[in-house]
Amino acid sequence: MTWWRRNQTAAVAAELDTQVVEKEAVEEPADQHPLLTVESVERTFQVGGQPLHVLKGINMELRPRQLVMLRGRSGSGKTTLLNMIGGLDQPTKGHIFFRDLPFHSMSDDDRTTVRRKQMGFIFQAFALMPLLSAYENVELSLRMAGIPSGEWKSRVEHCMELVGLSKRMHHRPFELSGGEQQRVAIAKAIAHRPRLLLADEPTAELDSQMSAQIMSVFQNIIRTEQVTICMTTHDPTILEVADHVYEMVDGRFI
**In the complex, minimum distance from the CB of residue 232 to ligand ATP, in angstroms, rounded to a whole number:** 6
Cβ neighbours of residue 13 closer than 8 Å, sequence gap 6 or more: 113
Give the interface segment with ligand ATP, choosing from 29-37, 45-53, 105-113, 238-246 (CB under 6 A): 45-53
Q: Report whether 59 contacts 94 (CB < 8 A).
A: no
Query: Cα angle vertex 102, ends 52, 188, to 5°?
Result: 85
When binding is defined by CB under 6 A, the residue of 6, 29, 30, 45 that contacts ligand ATP is 45
Please give the DSSP secondary-structure letter assigned to residue 85. Answer: H
**118 contacts ligand ATP (rule: CB under 6 A):** no
**131 contacts ligand ATP (rule: CB under 6 A):** no
In the complex with ligand ATP, which residue's Cβ is closer, 43 or 192? 43
**120 contacts ligand ATP (rule: CB under 6 A):** no
Distance, CA of 149 to CA of 156 (rounded, Å)? 11
Distance, CA of 128 to CA of 43 (rounded, Å)? 29
Cβ neighbours of residue 132 closer than 8 Å, sequence gap 6 or more: 140, 172
**In the complex, minimum distance from the CB of residue 68 to ligand ATP, in angstroms, rounded to a whole number:** 15
**In the complex, minimum distance from the CB of residue 238 to ligand ATP, in angstroms, rounded to a whole number:** 15
**213 contacts ligand ATP (rule: CB under 6 A):** no
Cβ neighbours of residue 57 closer than 8 Å, sequence gap 6 or more: 40, 41, 42, 94, 252
Residues binding ligand ATP: number (CB under 6 A) = 12
Footprint of ligand ATP on 49-108 (CB under 6 A): 52, 54, 72, 74-80
**125 contacts ligand ATP (rule: CB under 6 A):** no
Residues forming contacts to ligand ATP in the complex (CB under 6 A) are 45, 47, 52, 54, 72, 74-80
